[in-house]
Amino acid sequence: MLTALIMVAALAAGAPENPNPQHPAEEAVDPYVQADANAGAKPFEGDAMWKAFHGQAGVDRVVDELVDLSLKDPRIKDIFEAHDMVRLRRTLKEQFCYILGGGCTYSGRDMKSVHKDLGVQNTDFNALVEHLQTAMDHEKIGFRDQNRFLAKLAPMQRQAVER
């Protein structure tokens, strides 16, 4: 019994901490420095883009559909299935909210760290963009606003694609 308790204590001591204990459903991750700069893009000025995306409810719908479509897509589902979906959805919503000027703080890791060792290729990134465009269309976000948002996200391809 004592041996079992010591083993449990040792395992717990070596486990990474969850940097967001307010989200207990998320898997633990290794500690990292949290900063809005990790979001990969500076936010739009003003609230026009935030309004174009229909605020937090619209961002939530776009992210949820983006993730759902990606999980169903045989081209990229393996990349997504290997991740904590609770954390992924939360941090994507924070990232989009931050970039769109919704006043959110981004608590996720930087783009290079997030995508390290995933083997993401340009075709994978392009499939994700397709799903984002579909989700934005369903949310009835105007074409011009979609393009402005995609232009903000496009430079992240360099940090996400490994080969």
With bands split at pLDDT 50, 70 and 90, how would you rate the model's confidence at 16?
very low
Report the percentage of the chain scoring pLDDT > 90: 41
Domains of the chain from N-terminus onward: 36-160 (1.10.490.10)
Which pLDDT tens digit goes with each residue over 87-104? Answer: 889 889 998 999 999 999
Percent of the chain that is helix, strand, coil (3-state, to 5): 60, 0, 40
Confidence of residue 9 (pLDDT cuts 50, 70, 90): very low
Distance (Å, whole) CA 133 – CA 66: 9
Coil/strand/helix, residue 35: coil
